[in-house]
Structure 1
Amino acid sequence: MARPVVVIGAGIAGLAAAHALQKRGVPVEVIERESAPGGRMRSEHLAGGIVDRGAQFIANTYGNMHALARELGIDNRIEPLHQPRNGVLKNGRIVGSDYERLSDFVRSRDLSLASKLRLPKFFYHIYRHRGLLDFYHLEQAAALDGESAAAYVRRAFGDEVLDYLIEPAFASTFTVLPENLSKAFLLAALKLFLGGFHLQAFHGGNGLLTRTLAEQLPVRLGTEVTRVEPRLHSVMLRLRQDGHEASLEADRVIMAVPGNAVARLCRDLTPPEEAFFAAVRYAASIIVFVMTATTDSDPGLYGVGISRPEGVQLYGLAFENVKAGAVPPGKTLFNCALSEERAAQLMTAADDVIVAAALRELRQLPLRGLDRVEQCAVHRWPALVPQFYPGYHRALARFYARPERSERVFFAGDYLVGPYTEAALTSGLRAAEAIAPST
């Protein structure tokens, strides 16, 4: 019997890679450390509601994800959000905003006239560099990778645009502050967002996609890969399951794990690969889900971004009520992301300590219904999303152009394409293509 290609990790990247290989007749097996598949694209139940523990939304521009959903027969479960507007906390008030068109910027209430008059420069800069700004190939923007988003925006647009447009939007979406984002990433993201970008979700939770994929694949759950040992004609994997050690021989391996875990598992990387994986960074976060017994907590927005000048140690809120079938009638379900600094302080704290800390921060917001909290859930993420920091696009370009490559070990993950689920899925498809090119 032919040795399988083993995919380490049953998140969307690993499952997409395994599915693509299986379609091409390649024997495949997926190994997952956790007790359920899905990774950061997994849905769970909370007090009769459905929470997306990591990836909150998808988008109409996610071409590979929509194609896969059609193939699996679940594209009819993708629905637009009930409320497409976002909000920003400014001077203690939640101000609704919508930035799909230039006219939306002009009408917005969260920026002064002076700041609005500077905003057309964004469109000019995006147009000027449009040939470099491909959100599926962020390495192409390496030439723009010499400055942080914070420094660029402050220099070109001023503090108000940084504090009340860029920071709340990007910190709440990507769990990272603008000084830890590259100007290259900012411009590529803005090009995507301003090009007809609309948020969506799978009815019943975004985990529907990973769950459907896993049902069609051989997935071994609750099994940790402790070592990947490439050999001349195979790859030996060392495993741990239920306290027992085992081994598995694979033809090839796709490492669909966080990029900062690759070098620890596989010590036989090429020098360019070692250099790249040493440069991969992740943002840590703690997400707290809150269910209230009233709809008074629902502000009629899909989310609220929060910047540091407001003095609240949260990056933002996302409301599940905008998703069809996610929240029981008469209730509000939302989540809040603690700031990186606060998350680092509380990462090892008990759940009740984290919930109490989150509620203290939430009480600083003009949010009603917090006296009627029914249930909370805590999700700790030591490595939630990769940081596309200043210099990372250049590191990514060097990685793709590396002259020395591991022959039997391949890589998949959002750190290779972008910090969102479509990027993770795309990386899995590319890893499968590298092993078994489609015809």
Structure 2
Amino acid sequence: MGGQNIIVIGAGIAGLVAARRLAEAGHSVRVLEAGDVPGGRVGDREVRGIRFNAGARLLYSFSRPFNALLDEIGLTPALTPIRGLSAECDGIGERWSVELMPGVKSLLTPGISIGERLRFIAFGLRALAARGHVDPDDAASASREDQETLAAYIRRVLGAGVLERMVEPVFRGTRNWNADEASAAFFASVTPHLVGRDTVHVPAGGMGRLPQALAAGLAVETGIRVLQVETPDTGPARIHAERGGETFVGEADLVLCATEGACAAGLFPQLPQEDRAFFAHVRYNALGIVHYRLDRQVAPAMRFFSRDAAGPIATWQQVPGNEKTGQAPQLYAQMSPEGVEHAIRENMTGRLDAIVRERVRELYPALERDCSDVHNQWIARMLPLFYPGYAQHMAAFRDSQSAARRRVYFCGDYLAQSLVTGAAASGERAAADILRHWA
């Protein structure tokens, strides 16, 4: 194989995985990343001693290809298991426990009828049988369920009580998705691989260990913002970029765009119309989180809120301090979809604390006494929103990209599944397309 000169735009998980595979195959690969460190929405950040994640907070263990990747980069021994993950859910005048991994304990959820419990059991058996034909790394593998909203699907299959008491608090609390906006394809492709499991993982030392391990040995350049990519009919692609306020132009035989899908089309003025039409379908949701550093130790706690009781906060956590790691005690207030909409509408994305503080005082009355610092974290594009019909558009675009040789390729979680494992799977697929087309 003649080696190609390839530039990868974006050092998120998808871009790093693809770059790794292309470099292994003998291509000359250069990864350009706008941020200070590789990882994108996977990594660890610290501001004035307040530690938090760039986005993703844990790793699911259901993806065999991703598990093999973790073995390959030597990260498996560093995984810390978290078992029996659950949270308290607050409703109007009541509180109940919600299981984040569906299983037998889910049947004990109060407020669901006997009929719904029986339907839940039947669903669990069907879900186990579905493992053979739905891929947790690919929402398009549940194309039939992609035609309706998650809310409609859960009401039809499991009942309104299951939606209100179990599904909706988890999706709002972990993904900032409202069930009446999201497609059922995500749930239908992932849930069969969660049933009967009770363990998720985080790398010891933080989520940042994953991109660090993937980037090892690669030519990753940070602090470089790509402005535009020219793709003339003949000759190399020209990448216009900026670093430290100075612009420069690089050249490449091929370009792999691994940015968020909402940003991709704007980089390519010569993008074919059919590709541009697909990117018009890509949507992301924003996320706002307020982190409070405390001077006093706190007991661990995690709470979700039902839709009618949420107000501006969907997820609340108390994170104890750790003297060994230097971690200060912290409070974590993740905004609800309604809180995020309010921040955008009122131009308050840099002042999230002003939106949630009154509610935080209710949850932690000693806030003014114990709080020593506050950090507002705004993620403008947190997760691609898999809405009804999107998986169909996604699958058609992927098939087109896989069908014939091209100069520009794309990868990211928006082209597979809205998970870290989906991002990795998309990177693997894009690299495989390039290797097949340019062999």
* TM-score, normalized by the shorter chain, greater than 0.5: yes
Instruction: State the partner residue of 1:394.
Output: 392
* TM-fit CA distance, 1:140: 2.5
Q: Are 2:369 and 1:362 aligned? A: no
TM-score normalised by structure 1 residue count: 0.87
In 2, Cα distance between equivalents of 1:319 and 1:186: 28
Same amino acid, percent of matched pairs = 27
Which 5+ residue runs of structure 1 have no aligned equivalent? none
Q: Are 2:283 and 1:281 aligned? A: yes
Task: Single out whichever of 263-272 and 216-225 deviates more from structure 2.
Answer: 263-272
Q: Against the structure 1 CA distance between its residues 244 and 46, is the aligned structure 2 distance closer, same or farther, given a 3 Å change threshold?
A: closer
For the Cα contact (< 8 Å) 2:255–2:408, is it kept in 1? Answer: yes
In 2, Cα distance between equivalents of 1:319 and 1:396: 38
Q: Against the structure 1 CA distance between its residues 48 and 174, is the aligned structure 2 distance closer, same or farther, given a 3 Å change threshold?
A: same
Instruction: State the partner residue of 1:159.
Output: 160
**Amino acid aligned to 2:268:** C
Instruction: State the partner residue of 2:14.
Output: 13
Equivalences for residues 34-433 of structure 1 within 5 A: 34-45=35-46, 50-81=51-82, 84-98=85-99, 100=101, 102-109=103-110, 111=112, 113=114, 115-123=116-124, 126=127, 132-196=133-197, 198-231=199-232, 232-299=234-301, 303-317=302-316, 328=327, 332-347=329-344, 348-349=347-348, 351=350, 353-365=351-363, 370-371=367-368, 372-402=370-400, 407-433=406-432
**Amino acid aligned to 1:184:** A
For the Cα contact (< 8 Å) 1:79–1:324, is it kept in 2? Answer: no
* TM-fit CA distance, 1:147: 1.0
For the Cα contact (< 8 Å) 2:140–2:185, is it kept in 1? Answer: no
* TM-fit CA distance, 1:218: 1.6
Could you list the per-position Cα deviations for residues 115-144 of structure 1 after superposition, in whole angstroms to 9, with x for gaps in the alignment?
434423433553676555222232122222
In 2, Cα distance between equivalents of 1:263 and 1:175: 25
In 1, Cα distance between equivalents of 2:235 and 2:322: 49
For the Cα contact (< 8 Å) 1:100–1:197, is it kept in 2? Answer: yes
Give 3-state SS (helix, strand or coil) of 1:180's partner.
coil
Could you list the per-position Cα deviations for residues 194-241 of structure 1 after superposition, in whole angstroms to 9, with x for gaps in the alignment?
142521101111011112333432222221111112233432111122
Larger RCO: 1 or 2 (CA < 8 Å, sep 6+): 1
TM-score normalised by structure 2 residue count: 0.87
For the Cα contact (< 8 Å) 2:109–2:165, is it kept in 1? Answer: no
Q: Against the structure 1 CA distance between its residues 114 and 3, is the aligned structure 2 distance closer, same or farther, given a 3 Å change threshold?
A: closer
In 2, Cα distance between equivalents of 1:209 and 1:324: 24
Q: Against the structure 1 CA distance between its residues 378 and 87, is the aligned structure 2 distance closer, same or farther, given a 3 Å change threshold?
A: same
Q: Against the structure 1 CA distance between its residues 146 and 140, is the aligned structure 2 distance closer, same or farther, given a 3 Å change threshold?
A: same
In 1, Cα distance between equivalents of 2:265 and 2:42: 24
* TM-fit CA distance, 1:411: 0.9
Could you list the per-position Cα deviations for residues 268-323 of structure 1 after superposition, in whole angstroms to 9, with x for gaps in the alignment?
33333222111011011112223334443422xxx433231114222223565599
Q: How many residues align?
A: 432
Which 5+ residue runs of structure 2 have no aligned equivalent? none
* TM-fit CA distance, 1:86: 2.8
Q: Against the structure 1 CA distance between its residues 48 and 63, is the aligned structure 2 distance closer, same or farther, given a 3 Å change threshold?
A: farther
